[in-house]
Amino acid sequence: MSGSVRDDIVRVAHSIHDRGLTHGRTGNLAVRDGDRILVTPTGVSLGDVAADELSLLEADGTHVSGPRPTKEAFLHVAMLRERPSAHAVVHTHSVHSAALSVLEEIDPDDPLPPLTAYYGMRVGRLQLLPYAAPGDPVATAAVERAARAGHALLLRNHGPVVAGPDLDTALDALEELEHTAQLFFLTRGMRTAPLTPDQLAALRSRTDPRESTPR
């Protein structure tokens, strides 16, 4: 594993923590480099992640070296397995996205309206997965199915999981999801004008491939 990959994980992990996109010792990151995957360790705040204290996994999730990986490593492994074009996954407990995940009446296939152009470009489609306890690998099959259809997932009563070609692109999409969830709550009860299917299609046709990784 190259030092630059480790440095990228540390940089993004610290940025996520410093900007309040997750809290306490929640949230985790993964990067695929060749045939192996680096993930953040369990029980460590993203603000304290260090380059020499990351967990190294085989592509199937087998722990190779380093500290014990996050108990949610299976989420990252499943996403990367089902999305060959993705090389990074970001998972946080961002407040507005997590708040969205607890609403009873939202549509699992369309939990968040496309309120902005950048949501359309960077997120595109969001899917809400059924509840599973954090770290419970029973969620693997649901993650795999959803990952085949899109790179942005929302875990029920939990938070977002977003894949991308690199960490920065995955984080951009996750932040756009969080921002749109915030807009959703700020405008709840008001009449809004989400983007139409034609407007979304036009955005997808002009999106830089690095902006998102839809399939």
Residues marked as catalytic: 72, 118
Instruction: Write out the H or E segment, with its range, that includes residue 128.
Output: strand 126-129
Rounded Cα–Cα distance for residues 60 and 52 (Å): 22
Q: How far from 92 is each of 32, 47, 71, 188, 205, CA to CA, in Å?
A: 18, 13, 14, 23, 29
Rounded Cα–Cα distance for residues 170 and 167 (Å): 5
Rounded Cα–Cα distance for residues 61 and 56 (Å): 9
For residue 214 the two structure tokens come to 């839809």
The DSSP secondary-structure symbol of 70 reads: P
List alpha helices for 52-196, DSSP H. Answer: 73-82, 95-101, 117-122, 140-149, 167-186
Give the relative orientation of helices 167-186 and 3-18 as an angle to the nearest 10 degrees.
Answer: 20
Q: Is the dihedral of CA 162, 151, 135, 158 positive or negative?
A: positive
